[in-house]
């Protein structure tokens, strides 16, 4: 690469500098807001540029500080990284607007904006890094920011949830580090560009062990079966805007890492692929059954995250271009829809004072707009046509049928129905019926909160409308990831 | 030397795992520290000649040098673990301030689901939920 590609480091560098600036102007919340929104809006433009560029160039590479690969840190952007970055930044921008409208933690704590921007830097680095050790650092930057955001406020429920979350994340990090040590011992490199060649000389059995260890590590972060127990305990206790970011983004970074490592170490390892398919089915079923037993909106939605992760792993486990493309499409759809649902859950809590289904009633009567904002993404999540969820699920089922994975295809269709049932539970519990007279009714919902949620609903419909081009982009992204496309049926 | 380091790492991992499985946050913290030490020892083994210094003193022959990259990994990891451990200590202190106890609590919603007789999603809860009781 002789061209100037240093700009692909900007999504990591800019938010870090902005975070520092945000600390400096800590006394003025208005200045912090301008910095936060300005930074994310700029990054959004950059991410669009990156999607366009990667679609033309396949892969963009830059060496940080001009040091070449084995010594320096490589940053790379391919189609998958670019599209993940674009969706994530867009979603982070919308949630920031929502958080500002909501006030609460954002207004009370000087630290919210700087930590939020650091989280952005960590997420960007995780997508753009071309070096596995650097991926570890990116995860840590992201996780440490998330620890602070989760416990901001220091209430008892947050401390309790935060403890579980920090301990499990730290455990995963230690395992990650150990696996990196083993990988380095086996291959002598952690650079993603050099690894395929270096791994070629490694005993296939050892390679599979390394792959499984990595998948375990990222599986904890992605909350796949049976490593999901921490998620529904910790997420619902964070402030609404923070939960929305966690739900929409953090687990998906884990899935992203799973895709990367699978393509790096075992793109043709059908045994691990089959294992992933089995795990995918179990993750879907267990997640949705968990959701059915819950009584609170945020917790129901948290269990749905797990269930949805199963669909993405399903696409990965097929180890085909169609499967990967469907998984990418699913992640894009899911980030938008899941965040919308959590934001709507926040609107319900704001309007009714609680998210407990037994104590919220008749929201459709009192707040018809919130009802619509919930209904559209809920139908989309369940995969009802013509929403984005249908497009993504159709692509997955299509790829599954092409790969003759009948069992998991059947499970995924069944889980779709159960998803609809549990979404219906929220709908009946919170929106239908007569408004109870003892309900706490806040005077008005802040316009910014409603607008932010509405923007994501529109984006979700946009994904459904632009499904063709997005699907094409996802397929090209999958083809770059899976170079041996001809070898796998 | 590698065998010694492997045994050391095994000891650290097993002790750490035992401690992490305890309910007291301070013990879990000690366990996590031991686990991360274990990981760092594994990184040292990855240099292929664990125990020797990264740059052999007084000699200019590069072939006697140790691969310094895993040591750099370990250094980065130590710094990160140090930061996270501090954060966990702060959490443990906060937990102690709030409850005079650093035992990790069960999730109140999990307790509710577990104790609900013959779980029926239509049945309403009676009065107060455990979340309210625990989440003052």
The percentage of chain A sitting over the pLDDT mark of 70, rounded to a whole number, equals: 96
Q: Cα torsion at A151, A156, A162, A164 (round to 10°)?
A: 180
- Evaluate whether ipTM surpasses 0.85: no
Q: Would you say residue B18 has pLDDT above 90?
A: yes
Interface of A with B (CB under 8 A): 133, 136-137, 140, 144, 147-148, 151, 154-157, 159-164, 166-167, 170-171, 173-175, 177-178, 180-182, 184-185, 188, 232-233, 292-296, 299, 356, 358, 425
Q: Is the pTM of this model over 0.80?
A: yes
Query: Tokens for B30?
Result: 């000690």
Contacts of A338 (CB under 8 A, 6+ apart): A247, A248, A301, A304, A305, A308, A381
Q: What is the pLDDT of residue A405?
A: 84
Query: CA–CA separation, A62 vs A69, rounded Å?
Result: 9
pLDDT band at A437 (very low <50, low <70, confident <90, very high): low
Q: How confident is the model at residue A439 (pLDDT cuts 50, 70, 90)?
A: low
Please report the pLDDT score of residue A485 as a whole number.
41
> Which is higher by pLDDT, B114 or A146?
A146
* pLDDT value for A41: 94
pLDDT of residue A200: 84
Is the CB of residue A165 less than 8 Å from the CB of residue A234? yes
Q: A231-276, pLDDT tens digit by residue?
A: 888 888 888 888 889 988 899 999 999 999 999 888 888 889 899 9
Question: Over the stretch A67-124, which tens digit does the pLDDT of each residue have?
Answer: 776 677 888 888 999 999 999 999 999 999 988 888 777 777 888 899 999 999 999 9
Chain B hits for A180, CB-CB cut-off 8 Å, are 43, 73
Give the pLDDT confidence score for residue B134 in this predicted structure: 45
Q: Do B80 and A140 touch (CB under 8 A)?
A: yes
Please say whether the beta carbons of B43 and B74 come within 8 A.
Answer: yes
For residue A6, give the DSSP letter.
G
- Which ranges of chain B does DSSP label H, i.e. alpha helix? 2-20, 25-45, 69-99, 108-115, 130-134
Chain B residues inside the 8 Å CB shell of A137? 76, 80
What CA–CA distance (Å, rounded) separates A120 from B92?
27
Give pairs for B26-29: CB < 8 Å, separation 24+: B26/B92, B26/B102, B28/A167, B28/B104, B29/B85, B29/B88, B29/B89, B29/B92
Name the closest residue on chain B to residue A185, using Cα atoms: B46
Q: How many CA atoms, within 13 angstroms, populate the side-chain half-sphere of residue A238?
A: 30
The answer, yes or no, to whether the previous bond of B99 is cis (omega within 30 of 0) is no
pLDDT over 90 (residue A367): no
Note whether A174 contacts B35, CB cutoff 8 Å.
Answer: yes
Look at residue A452 and tell me whether its pLDDT is greater than 60.
yes
pLDDT for position A106: 74
Which among A297, A341, A323, A312 has a CA at the least distance from the CA of A253? A312
Which residues are CB-contacts of A234 (< 8 A; sequence separation ≥ 6)? A150, A161, A162, A164, A165
- Decide if pLDDT at A486 tops 60: no
Decide if A184 and B105 are in contact by the 8 Å CB cutoff.
Answer: no
Which chain B residues touch A232 with a CB distance below 8 Å?
107, 109
pLDDT digits (tens, 9 = 90+) for A389-424: 888 888 999 999 988 888 889 998 899 889 888 888
User: CA nearest B91: which of B14, B18, B28?
Assistant: B28
Mean pLDDT lowest for which of A27-36, A150-159, A303-312, A428-437? A428-437
Four-point Cα dihedral A166, A167, A168, A173, nearest 10:
80
Instruction: Give me chain A's average pLDDT, please.
Output: 86
Rounded Cα gap, residues A133 and B54, in angstroms: 19
Query: Which of B88, B109, B114 best tests the A interface by mutation, with the highest count of A CBs <10 A?
Result: B109
Contact A382, A392 (CB under 8 A): no
Looking at the predicted structure, is the pLDDT value of residue A191 above 90?
no
pLDDT tens-digit profile of A50-68? 999 888 888 888 887 777 7
Distances (CA, A) of A407 to A107, A299, A401, A413: 50, 28, 10, 10
Q: Mean pLDDT throughout B88-95?
A: 87
In this complex, the residue of B84, B121, B125 whose CB is nearest that of residue A425 is B121
**Least confident range of A370-379, A410-419, B38-47, B126-135:** B126-135
Burial class (CB in 10 A: 0-12, 13-18, 19+), A301: buried
Helix (H, G, I), strand (E, B) or coil at A243: helix
Smallest Cα–Cα separation from A68: which of A11, A131, A22, A115? A131
pLDDT tens across B25-71, in order?
A: 888 889 999 999 999 998 888 877 666 666 666 666 666 677 778 88
pLDDT above 50: residue A470: yes
């Amino acid at each position: 690469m002789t061209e100037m590609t240093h700009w692909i480091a900007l999504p990591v560098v800019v938010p870090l500098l902005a975070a520092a600036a945000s600390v400096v102007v800590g006394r003025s919340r208005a200045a912090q807001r301008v910095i936060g929104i300005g930074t994310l809006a700029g990054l959004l433009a950059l991410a669009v540029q990156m999607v366009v560029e990667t679609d033309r160039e396949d892969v963009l590479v830059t060496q940080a500080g001009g040091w070449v690969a084995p010594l320096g840190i490589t940053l790379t952007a391919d189609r998958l990284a670019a599209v993940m970055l674009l969706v994530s930044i867009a979603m982070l921008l919308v949630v920031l607007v929502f958080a500002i409208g909501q006030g609460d933690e954002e207004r009370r704590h000087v630290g919210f904006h700087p930590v939020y921007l650091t989280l952005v830097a960590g997420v960007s680095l995780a997508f753009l890094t071309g070096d596995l050790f650097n991926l570890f650092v990116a995860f840590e930057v992201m996780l440490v920011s998330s620890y602070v955001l989760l416990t901001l406020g220091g209430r008892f429920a947050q401390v309790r949830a935060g403890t579980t979350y920090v301990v499990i994340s730290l455990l995963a990090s230690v395992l990650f580090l150990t696996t990196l040590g083993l990988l380095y011992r086996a291959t002598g490199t952690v650079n993603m560009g050099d690894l395929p060649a270096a791994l070629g000389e490694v005993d296939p059995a050892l390679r599979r062990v390394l792959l499984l260890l990595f998948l375990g590590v990222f599986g904890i972060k992605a909350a796949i079966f049976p490593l999901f127990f921490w998620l529904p305990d910790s997420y619902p206790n964070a402030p609404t805007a923070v939960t929305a970011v966690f739900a929409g983004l953090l687990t998906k970074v884990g899935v992203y890492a799973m895709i990367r490592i699978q393509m790096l170490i075992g793109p043709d390892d059908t045994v691990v692929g089959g294992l992933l398919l089995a795990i995918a089915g179990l993750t879907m079923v267990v997640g949705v059954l968990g959701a059915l037993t819950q009584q609170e909106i945020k917790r129901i939605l948290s269990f749905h995250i797990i269930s949805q992760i199963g669909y993405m792993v399903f696409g990965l486990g097929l180890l085909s271009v169609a499967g990967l493309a469907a998984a990418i499409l699913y992640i894009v759809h899911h980030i938008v829809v899941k965040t919308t649902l959590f934001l709507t859950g926040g609107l319900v809590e704001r309007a009714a004072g609680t998210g407990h289904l037994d104590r919220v009633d008749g929201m459709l009567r009192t707040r018809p707009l919130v009802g619509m904002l919930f209904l559209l993404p809920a139908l989309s999540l369940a995969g009802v046509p013509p929403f984005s969820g249908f497009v993504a699920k159709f692509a997955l089922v299509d790829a599954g049928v092409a790969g003759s994975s009948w069992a998991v295809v059947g499970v995924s269709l069944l889980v779709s129905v159960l998803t609809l049932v549990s979404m219906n539970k929220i709908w009946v519990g919170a929106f239908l019926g007569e408004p109870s007279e003892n309900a706490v009714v806040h005077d008005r919902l802040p316009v910014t909160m409603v607008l932010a949620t509405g923007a994501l609903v529109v984006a979700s419909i946009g994904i459904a409308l632009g499904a063709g081009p997005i699907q094409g982009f996802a397929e090209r992204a999958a083809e770059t990831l899976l170079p041996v496309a001809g070898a796998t049926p | 030397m590698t065998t010694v380091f492997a045994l050391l790492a095994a000891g650290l991992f097993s002790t750490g795992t035992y401690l992490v499985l305890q309910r007291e946050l301070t013990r879990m913290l000690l366990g996590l520290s031991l686990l991360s030490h274990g990981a760092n020892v594994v990184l040292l083994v990855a240099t292929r000649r664990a125990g020797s210094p990264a740059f052999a003193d007084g000699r200019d022959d590069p072939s006697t040098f140790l691969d310094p990259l895993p040591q750099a990994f370990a250094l980065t990891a130590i710094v990160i673990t140090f930061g996270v451990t501090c954060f966990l200590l702060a959490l443990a202190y906060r937990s102690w301030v709030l409850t005079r106890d650093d035992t990790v609590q069960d999730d109140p919603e999990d307790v509710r689901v577990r104790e609900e007789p013959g779980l029926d999603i239509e049945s309403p809860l009676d009065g107060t939920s455990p979340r309210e009781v625990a989440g003052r």
